[in-house]
Chain A
Amino acid sequence: MSLNKILVLDGVTAVCRFRDDGAIMEAEGMLSPDLMERMARFAQWYRRTVSSNTDLLSLFSQMRGWSPSQGWIVQGAGLTVCSTGNVVCLVGNAQGSLNEIMRALGEAARE
């Protein structure tokens, strides 16, 4: 699935696939190269943090189903960043459907 299929979804302004070291593998959308790079790095570190926290939660709660974590969403006043696996995208809150976007990110991440 190409990243363009995510980019065409309502509200999505930028999407990128990143490597384990935070470098960009491919990117599409309206974000300057510098910001795209920062988003990829942020996404990669945030992914690790979320994965650590879900490991802790799963460890201390002794509850199955949290770990390994699949993705995360951070919603701000006007913008949302969401990610599944190694794909991350930037969404305008007013237009986007998070359910649809998360589903598409999940498919892209499984490739």
Chain B
Amino acid sequence: MMELPGALAAFTYNDRGALQSHVLREGTELTPQVLDLLARSCVANLAIASMEASGWEALTGQGGFQPLKGISVVGLEWSVVANGNRGVVVKNRDADYEAAFNAVQTA
């Protein structure tokens, strides 16, 4: 995941969102503590997104959301892209969202 354009950090987390492993780009301001928070927010966002996906599909009859392939939060300078138990932080300037979503798909 660190080979993605603009990657600042890559991480994995357990189902409750606790940080399990991470790699940080040298010189980045991100810390393991921030990554742990980020991982927890990823789990929360994925849970909300899956609720929205199943609710939307049930109510509108429009398919195409499930199974969910991930979420991204776009900050001012960087974005996080996450799915399953992994996430990656990329610089907005260099972000390739499609490549990032592909990278966080579990094999």
Q: Are A60 and B56 in touch, CB under 8 angstroms?
A: yes
Q: Are A60 and B48 in touch, CB under 8 angstroms?
A: no
Interface size on A, residues (CB 8 A): 6
Minimum distance in angstroms from A88 CB to a CB of chain B:
20
Q: Is A4 an interface residue (CB 8 A)?
A: no
Query: Which chain A residues in 56-102 approach chain B with CB under 8 Å?
Result: 56, 59-62
Q: Is the interface of A mostly helix, strand, loop or mixed?
A: helix
Give Cα A59–Cα B51 distance, bound, in whole angstroms. Answer: 11
Q: Is B59 an interface residue (CB 8 A)?
A: yes
Minimum distance in angstroms from B71 CB to a CB of chain A:
15
Chain B residues within an 8 Å CB radius of A60? 51-52, 55-56, 58-59
Q: Which of A59, A60, A62 has most chain B Cβ within 10 Å?
A: A60
**Contact string, B43-83, partner A, CB cutoff 8 A, digits 1/0?**
00000100110011011000000000000000000000000
Q: Are B59 and A62 in touch, CB under 8 angstroms?
A: yes
Q: Are B59 and A56 in touch, CB under 8 angstroms?
A: no
Give Cα A61–Cα B58 distance, bound, in whole angstroms. Answer: 10
Apart from A56-B52, A59-B59, 10 more pairs, CB < 8 Å? A53-B48, A56-B48, A56-B55, A59-B55, A60-B51, A60-B55, A60-B56, A60-B58, A60-B59, A62-B59
Query: Can you sample 15 A-B contacts with CB below 8 Å?
Result: A53-B48, A56-B48, A56-B51, A56-B52, A56-B55, A59-B55, A59-B59, A60-B51, A60-B52, A60-B55, A60-B56, A60-B58, A60-B59, A61-B55, A62-B59
